[in-house]
Structure 1
Amino acid sequence: MSSFDKSLKEIEKELIQSKKKPKDLVLFYKNFLKKELHHLRMEGALGTSGKSIARKRAELFMVILTHMWEMALEQLFSPMAFEEPSVALVAVGGFGRKELSPASDIDLLFLYDPQKGAEDVIYELIHKILYFLWDIGLDVGHSTHQLEEIIAWANRDLQTKTALLDADLICGSQQLWERFQRIFEPSCINGKEKEFIEWRLEDLKEQHRKYGATVLVQEPNIKWGCGGLRDYQSLFWIARVKEKITQKEQIVSEKWMELKDWEKLENAYDFLLRVREELHFREKRKFDLLTLGSQGKIATALGYPQKDILARVEEFMRHFYDHALQIYLIANTTAQAIAAQKKGFLSKGRTSKPFGSFAIENHSLEVVNPEKLTENPLLILKAFSFIQRWGLKIGPTLKIQIKNRLHLIHANFLRRRDVRNLIRLIFSRKGQVGEVCRQMHEIGLLGKLFPEFAPLRCLVQHEFFHRYTADEHTLKAIEVIDSLLGAKEAPYKNFASLFHQLQNPFILYLAILLHDTGRAANRRKHHEELSAVNAMNAAKRLRLSAEELSDLVFLVGPTSFDGTDSRQTKSGG
């Protein structure tokens, strides 16, 4: 038992023995909460994990509510004729899964059975609890339902069903709580899995679109954005509904996720909870947008040591984006695999079209035998060539299998002629480069194919006109070039014919990919010279012709190293 838990037990004894008047009790609870929440604040400042602090805060409020419940029962019932009414106080949502940030909702469900006790007495008990909570300054979300009523409501409202997946008994009728547990799954989950999972995945997509559609926005939303807390939570809701997984570790033991990915996912989630903890403290309200104004304060509070505030923010945000990307990739990929019931290879009983080492499933490319990727890493590039050519998505199993084999993409591999030819092919398909680059970048492959690009991953840019990190800015620039193909509206239609006539789109796409690579080493000053050097290194590795090299450096670098247009000088202007 931790020292914090022992403290709660001691205070529990003190509260039970106290015979204070109502006004005294209100002040007592206010002071108690203030003191304990301050202790949690200090624990967080000393580096205690985000998950631990969130759990302890939930436990604190559960103890408070249990004491209030006991006091209310004593006031309403004679000790000699005491019979506990059939009502249970249940924590739902984040409170139920024991994850409370400083401004998180404290969501309560009063569950009752009117046939086992008078309704007027039950409502009086509920009112006493709520009034006392309000008196001590807590804003709680609450609902009161009979057992059959809440089950029916959960089947009409999927948000309610989601909250009940995390329900946990605080105090009250154990018998009624056990009845709820026996009824909930057969009534609300069994036979309704498909509806819930489809809604859950679509709701995630909608939230992602609302908050920028990428992890790498300048001001990310910690809860709802891509790679946010909700992505992680959705994975376990889907696992609970689809596979009856009730303990998170079962994700690993039942082979849905490798241990190293599980550890990355848990570390990332803990980091985001820690950031949210600090943000709520500073905002003094429920607020999950990591604004430019708050990033420096959070970085300082978390102990980032850089003396320069911009460097401090850059380091902090780079860590934030890296963790959010881990959640976005691992949680969503695993959720999709569980939804499709795919642990290792092709899912059973689903439509697939095998060809060679791959198969197409539901408009996604999947791998038939992952070991083939190890034997012949060129298949990794071929997979993305197929994805690009046929407009597919990378399937969840293939995504994980490639991610776990990125070590096979090394310098000697990149020097192979067949590798160079395949890279050229992928970057020569007009209008199709941006999406495949994004899919390769998500799993870290793009930085392996182009080591010059790798340092841009999650690199913060502090210019007003840059809304995204350097890597996301580059991907969006490539997507803009894609949009020129067949563009019919301004301003892109003015360039559509030029793009259509372009003989070698490979160089243009390559130039855009490399144009900002110098930023990683030289963020404060002009970076074009370093980007041009990176372009020359890539050109050498890719065996570009002299003319291609000249075009690439011209597009990436400054006009020329002496301030004049080198090609105009050579051609006489």
Structure 2
Amino acid sequence: GANIGPAVRTPADTRKHIRDDPHAQTALLESRLLTGAGKLYAKVQETCGQQFWSKRQRVEFCVEKLAEFKRRRRAMGDTAFLMEPDVKNAKGGLRDVSTIFWLSMAWYGTPTARELIGQGLVDDAEFNGFVRGRNFLWRTRTGLHLLAGREDDRLRFEYQPELAKMLQFRDSDKRSAVERFLKIYFLNVRMIADLADIFALHFEEQINPPRRWRRSQDLGNGMSLRDGKVTIGDEKSFAAEPINLIKIFVEAQKEHRVMNSYALRIVRKYSRAVDAKLRVSKAANSMFLEILRSPRNVATSLNQMHETGVLGRFVPDFGRITGHGQFDRYHCYTVDAHTIRAIDVLRDFRLGEGQFIDMPLASKLMLELQRPELLFVALMFHDIAKGQGGDHSELGEHLSRKFCRRLGLSDDDTGLVTWLVRFHLDYSKTAQHYDLSDPEVIADFSRFIGDRERLVYLFLLTVADVTAVGPGTWTEWKGHLFSQLFYAVEGCLRAGRVTPDNQENRIASRRESVLKMCAKGEREEVASALAVLSNTSTLHFPPVVLKDLCCLLAQKSGAYLAVNESLGHTQVIVWGADRPKLFAHLTATLAGANTKALAAYAYSLRDGRILDEFHITDRFDSAVSEPGQLARLQQRLEDVLAGKIPTAIKTPASADVLMRALPVEVRHLEAAAKSITAIEVVAADRRGLLADIAEAIAEMNFDVRGANIATFGEKAVDVFFVTDSEGDKLDSVQTDVLIQRIEQAAKLEANQIRAD
């Protein structure tokens, strides 16, 4: 029901009340006569209506509303394209419509919003667009309240299918009903958000007008420059040549210029003039490349081109993904919003501001690029074929090749762009799912990359892509893996190839480096421990860590925890006598302590003991650092090493709609490792999943040699490196049986870890 705040006042009291209260002024703007003759209501309007406000009242009201407008948007993530948006308060929501109407009515003193059309302050298309968008959001919000049985403005995943059905959306050959509903929803939201941005800028300009003594500079074709702002002084001259719709963005990138709100409105008004003839124009395509090559405001220009409708018409393939959302929890934004955000991440790397993530390597490499425009084109097309059916990477490669030819790029430039689009997922997959300590994996990936230039471009595209997926998708651990792979491949490419002889030299060099750090009394003990460590574990740990580890191995068994704030995780090292299901019990103990595993490595020592390493975080994706929690966890792990069986963990019995919709997929990942068997598991993420799978492997008398763990929203994508009890790679029969066993263990029904 409605939230009522009743009050009884005379017209005189009302006038005093609204004088300095923006909320009361807003209520007056929205006031309606419900019943009665209306004499008192008319008197209130005659004495208190916005048409009678003083200039001070107008300015103060608009300043407060603009500040409130910005605060609300920031609190909602400052984007209109979250996949679980707030229909009322998010950017592009109902509150944006109301705010722009309030600002217009207050500043210009009109009694109703529609009268703004007659005064020429907005045109019919702009006003009707607001109204259509508002009406669709009203229907959506009403449906939400009916489904929830209460006031709930969050368009949650579980409501989306039912709401699509309620609003009579149907499945098509390529898209589900919910995807079609979300497409229409986001198109309406985008239209509201874009117009709201332009009008908010307009009112800021009205409150702080340009200095009168500044001269206006003629830029030609109806465009002019005043006080650093590009505007349109002659609308007729500007509209006479459609190429001006591209040229104005080139002008706005020069020096320290920006476009004012009037220019953006005029560009939006004539955006339909971008037609097939303009798209094949050499001059227009050359200007578009000039925009991408500019050292400043590439992301801003593309975003404004998108908001005004120019980008979607100049690049029709991009226009088709506008408003396209994906029904999952990993992708937080629509495809077009994600793409523009990824380009903004690259801008941030170039400037080194750290607005999104702090990654000096990416900033350094971004400054090295000789052809940054190729990276921007690749990012524009990397997800452009989503929603069209088939492999979006392959389809995107085809579409990007056509666009590159249209731009007049060389075969070499076109080859780089299409390669980046086709293989834009491979770097992330290799870094997170493959054994990066395996020289053959690095050598294979290096051969695939081919040269350092492609490595740099693919690295930057991948980091920007992952960062732009949504808040929290980028972690320090991913940064570590991506950097580790970059340096490994860079070294491999520089050396030409990795050979077994080289590996033996690296092991000898690593051991010598460790021994050089030892004091005289430590060398013998450390040398003995180094002899016990396997070659893989010797190369895995850096020398400083390896030295400390060798000192720890002097004890028969134990657990060691080290907080690594820079990488955002806590390192857990456990060593001791091996026994059946030990790895499963260790993972169950970590899960029982409410921690999340980022990675796991298992090694066999030459003296019969095992050495397991885990990288863990708390449930907020931060390093586990509280001293009491660290001490308790260390004791529990040492108890397990001593033979204690961990307490059974009960996983939540309920699963949300996205988890239930996610099928379990288990497959042999042959390319991920050469000497051992790699099994990839895709399943709904839940507490204890890693321990369930580890126990399933142990029950078949196989050993886990390591695991790479990644989580994407509700989806867990884990890779387990497995051998038989003799340390050998599994044969095809063993692999098939293990896959079937893991499929059963990973299902949501298996909601309790058996510790026996």
Corresponding residue number in structure 1 for 2:163 = 298
1:521 aligns to 2:388 (yes or no):
yes
1:355 aligns to 2:222 (yes or no):
no
CA deviations on 1:525-556 (whole Å, 9 max, x unpaired) are 53110010011001110111111011111111
Give 1:152-301 correspondences, 5 Å limit.
152-171=16-35, 174-185=38-49, 189-191=53-55, 192-301=57-166
**1:222–1:272 Cα contact (<8 Å) kept:** yes
Corresponding residue number in structure 2 for 1:372 = 237
SS at match of 1:161: helix
Structure 1 residues 488 and 197: alpha-carbon distance in aligned structure 2, compared to 1, 3 A threshold: closer
Looking at structure 2, the residues matched to 487 and 334 of structure 1 have their Cα atoms a distance apart, in angstroms, of: 31
Corresponding residue number in structure 1 for 2:706 = none
Corresponding residue number in structure 1 for 2:15 = 151
**1:507–1:548 Cα contact (<8 Å) kept:** yes
> How many percent identity over aligned positions?
21
SS at match of 1:169: coil
**CA drift at 1:151:** 2.6
Give the count of matched residue pairs. Answer: 431
Residue from 354, 364, 369 that aligns with 1:502: 369
Looking at structure 1, the residues matched to 189 and 100 of structure 2 have their Cα atoms a distance apart, in angstroms, of: 14
SS at match of 2:312: helix
SS at match of 1:519: coil
Looking at structure 1, the residues matched to 194 and 173 of structure 2 have their Cα atoms a distance apart, in angstroms, of: 32
Stretch of structure 1 that moved more, 183-192 or 494-503: 183-192
**CA drift at 1:309:** 12
Corresponding residue number in structure 2 for 1:395 = 260
SS at match of 2:110: coil
CA deviations on 1:210-245 (whole Å, 9 max, x unpaired) are 212122111222111111112222222222222222
Stretch of structure 1 that moved more, 425-434 or 300-309: 300-309
The residue identity in structure 1 corresponding to 2:190 is L
Bigger relative CO (Cα 8 Å, ≥ 6 apart): 1
Looking at structure 1, the residues matched to 423 and 41 of structure 2 have their Cα atoms a distance apart, in angstroms, of: 70
The residue identity in structure 1 corresponding to 2:224 is A
**1:318–1:458 Cα contact (<8 Å) kept:** yes
Structure 1 residues 373 and 531: alpha-carbon distance in aligned structure 2, compared to 1, 3 A threshold: same
Corresponding residue number in structure 1 for 2:302 = 437
Residue from 314, 317, 324 that aligns with 2:189: 324
**CA drift at 1:431:** 5.5
Looking at structure 2, the residues matched to 351 and 202 of structure 1 have their Cα atoms a distance apart, in angstroms, of: 28
Structure 1 residues 264 and 175: alpha-carbon distance in aligned structure 2, compared to 1, 3 A threshold: closer
Residue from 437, 457, 476 that aligns with 2:322: 457
**CA drift at 1:369:** 0.8
Looking at structure 1, the residues matched to 425 and 179 of structure 2 have their Cα atoms a distance apart, in angstroms, of: 30
CA deviations on 1:235-291 (whole Å, 9 max, x unpaired) are 222222222222333222222222233332222111111111111122222221111
1:549 aligns to 2:549 (yes or no):
no
TM-score (norm. length: structure 1): 0.68
Looking at structure 1, the residues matched to 90 and 169 of structure 2 have their Cα atoms a distance apart, in angstroms, of: 24
Looking at structure 1, the residues matched to 86 and 423 of structure 2 have their Cα atoms a distance apart, in angstroms, of: 36
Corresponding residue number in structure 2 for 1:142 = 6
Looking at structure 2, the residues matched to 199 and 361 of structure 1 have their Cα atoms a distance apart, in angstroms, of: 27
Q: Structure 2: which 5+ runs fail to align?
A: 427-443, 452-492, 498-756
1:406 aligns to 2:271 (yes or no):
yes
Stretch of structure 1 that moved more, 348-357 or 379-388: 348-357
Looking at structure 2, the residues matched to 425 and 322 of structure 1 have their Cα atoms a distance apart, in angstroms, of: 29
The residue identity in structure 2 corresponding to 1:516 is D
Q: CA RMSD in A?
A: 3.3
Corresponding residue number in structure 2 for 1:427 = 292
**CA drift at 1:164:** 1.4
TM-score (norm. length: structure 2): 0.52
CA deviations on 1:463-489 (whole Å, 9 max, x unpaired) are 432100000111111111111114276
- Greater Cα radius of gyration, structure 1 or 2: 2
The residue identity in structure 2 corresponding to 1:141 is G
CA deviations on 1:315-336 (whole Å, 9 max, x unpaired) are 1111111112222233553465
Q: Structure 1: which 5+ runs fail to align?
A: 1-102, 106-139
Looking at structure 1, the residues matched to 170 and 290 of structure 2 have their Cα atoms a distance apart, in angstroms, of: 45
**1:232–1:327 Cα contact (<8 Å) kept:** yes
The residue identity in structure 1 corresponding to 2:24 is T
